Structure 1
Amino acid sequence: MARTFFILLLLFATASSHAEKRPEAFNTIDKLFAAMSKFDHQVMRSTVTDSFILLEHGEVWTIEDLVKVVKPSSYTRTNYFSIINYEQQGDLLTVNYWNKANFTQKNNSEEVIWLESAVLAKVDGNWLLTQMHSTRLPAGKTPDKVTFIQQKL
């Protein structure tokens, strides 16, 4: 009985420590991708600074370029993330993470995975994205030993 209690306590502590590894600023990234899933362009714009740039698979985009790509559709997008690491220095945060999206439409489903990094700055008390870098993995390639956590909308 004591051994079972110890194992459960250890599992709880491990789960808690993983939850603590997620920086507060990552909520802004969550907000951006939730808005993309809902095709909410206004909320997408609210997550970035005026000088935001996205380095998207070899191209330089603004938030307006991203908005143009996120068009209302009949698919459902479910987001998953796995944070690799992050570093915060005052009001500036850099974060590296895996991003997975599952696009489902009727009986079809497609999974897309990106390796991403982001720079966020605290502006007037709010964390905003100033830069993102996104590299899409080839179809069917999944990174080894990565545990994705489904985004809660």
Structure 2
Amino acid sequence: MTKKIILPIFLFFSVYSLQAQNIKPKEEEAIKQLIQNVFDDVWGELDSTKIEKYHTDDFLLLEHGEVWTNDTIKSYIAKARQSEKLPKRTNSFEFIRFVKSKNSIWFAYQNYATLSVDGKVTRELQWLESAVAIKTKQGWKLQMLHSTRVKRD
């Protein structure tokens, strides 16, 4: 008798739990826009003033075996901006998966960057990345990003 009651209750909460975790189309679009903005504004424009807008204070970037913080990124940008001619970076993404859990979303994607100088492509780069975005009072922000370079032919 107890098993007959517990099984339906368990199934109900299992299904409810799965449904509650589905990402809404609006949330998916917000996350896609967040990534586009981060890579266009921070990495493309080399604008360290935008880091606070897109990253949490405790943000970590795991970049090909290195651990970067917001301060590490600011230092990198300051050095990069000293270059005589900064390349233009065009970013595009191919999203693989989104997983929502309460106020966070984990997602995976391919990241493509084309670097050009004076309209001429100088490099094409690709990374396989995963990230965690946290819902804050200011909107979605990145808390963690894990990046692995993909060799291109």
State the alpha-carbon separation in 2 of the partners of residues 65 and 124 from structure 1: 25
Q: Deviations over 1:124-147 (max 9, x none)?
A: 14111110000011242xxxxxxx
State the alpha-carbon separation in 1 of the partners of residues 72 and 88 from structure 2: 21
- Please report the TM-score for the alignment, with normalisation by the length of structure 1: 0.72
Identify unmatched segments of 5+ residues in structure 1: 1-19, 141-153
Letter in structure 2 aligned against 1:85: R
1:97 is matched with 109
1:115 is matched with 128
CA RMSD of aligned residues (A): 1.8
Letter in structure 1 aligned against 2:72: D
State whether structure 2 residue 31 is matched by structure 1 residue 25.
yes
- Please report the TM-score for the alignment, with normalisation by the length of structure 2: 0.72
Q: Deviations over 1:85-121 (max 9, x none)?
A: 1011231000100000000013442001000000010
Deviation at 1:37, TM superposition (A): 0.9
2:91 is matched with 79
Identify unmatched segments of 5+ residues in structure 2: 1-24
Q: Deviations over 1:32-89 (max 9, x none)?
A: 1111211211112321111110000011110221233232342100001000010112
Q: Against the structure 1 CA distance between its residues 74 and 93, is the aligned structure 2 distance closer, same or farther, given a 3 Å change threshold?
A: same
Which has the larger helix fraction? 2
Report sequence identity in percent. 31
* Residue correspondences, number: 121
State the alpha-carbon separation in 2 of the partners of residues 51 and 116 from structure 1: 19
Letter in structure 1 aligned against 2:75: K
State the alpha-carbon separation in 2 of the partners of residues 77 and 24 from structure 1: 22
